[in-house]
Amino acid sequence: MIERVKSAMVGLGAGWVLFLMLFLSIVSLAVMLERAWLYWSLRDDVPTLMRDLGRLLRAGDLDGARKRLEASPSAEAAVVIAGIVEAGMGAEAAEEAMLGASALQKLKLEKRLTFLGTLGNNAPFLGLLGTVIGIVGAFDELGKAKNATMTAAATQVAPEAVMTNISEALVATAVGLLVAIPAVAAFNWFQRIVRATLANTDALGHVLLAHLKATGTAEADVEAAIETAAARVERTSKPTKKAPKDADDN
């Protein structure tokens, strides 16, 4: 069994590992460019957007706030728009709508990042596999040279074959690291962008919720005051019962 595995490894060599990592590096580069373009297209000045949203909400202009958010390409604005759509149902309905929209935006932002993380973690192991194959091939060549007749041609060919296999092993290790390092760096950078976007979304959503809760409290206070005044008017408008006349008056 060991001899068969060794023969297969030596026969294939480390070349297929190099081609596999080359293919993975191309896919990784394509994912990096696609994610970078997406995050760039969603960028916006969130502090300014938050100030504009607060100003419009304080003025009671929900339509203006929605138009201001629709003009923004950011993921944060898309989440708060979902809350404004349900604002008429109350603060709790708006909050639930924004939680759902935030979950969808998170899936959109984190799409394909798992590939970068997996590649960054496993590319060195692929390189190590190529290294092991190259070392096995080198030792196999040494074994063949030892068993062969010690002629001048054999002593000349054996070192060259051994060095070729060792060089393939070292190249496989280097390629594995070259594929892994950019993938890990891009993965960490993109994860930071996702976390910052979700934090901005949460902050922007709280601006809307604060307005809706404050408005709901004010309306409740007004309704309570109206009900109290109506109760007072009803009590004062009822006729009072007259006291019975004394018996002396009869």
Could you read off the pLDDT of 149-207 as tens digits, one per residue? Answer: 555 444 555 566 667 777 777 888 888 999 999 999 999 999 999 999 999 999 999 99
* Residue 34 pLDDT: 96
Region of poorest pLDDT, from 121-130, 144-153, 178-187: 144-153
Q: How far apart are CA 68 and CA 77, in angstroms?
A: 9
- pLDDT for 168: 75
Give 238's DSSP letter.
S
Beta-carbon contacts of residue 117 (< 8 Å; ≥ 6 apart): 183, 184, 187
How many angstroms separate the CA atoms of 102 and 75, rounded?
Answer: 8
In terms of Cα–Cα distance, which of 117, 115, 101, 108 is closest to 38?
108
Q: Where are the domains of the chain?
A: 2-234
pTM: 0.77
For residues 123 and 113, the answer to whether their CB atoms sit within 8 Å is no
Each residue's pLDDT tens digit, 53-106 = 989 988 888 899 999 999 999 999 999 999 999 888 888 899 999 999 999 999
pLDDT > 70: what percent of the chain? 71
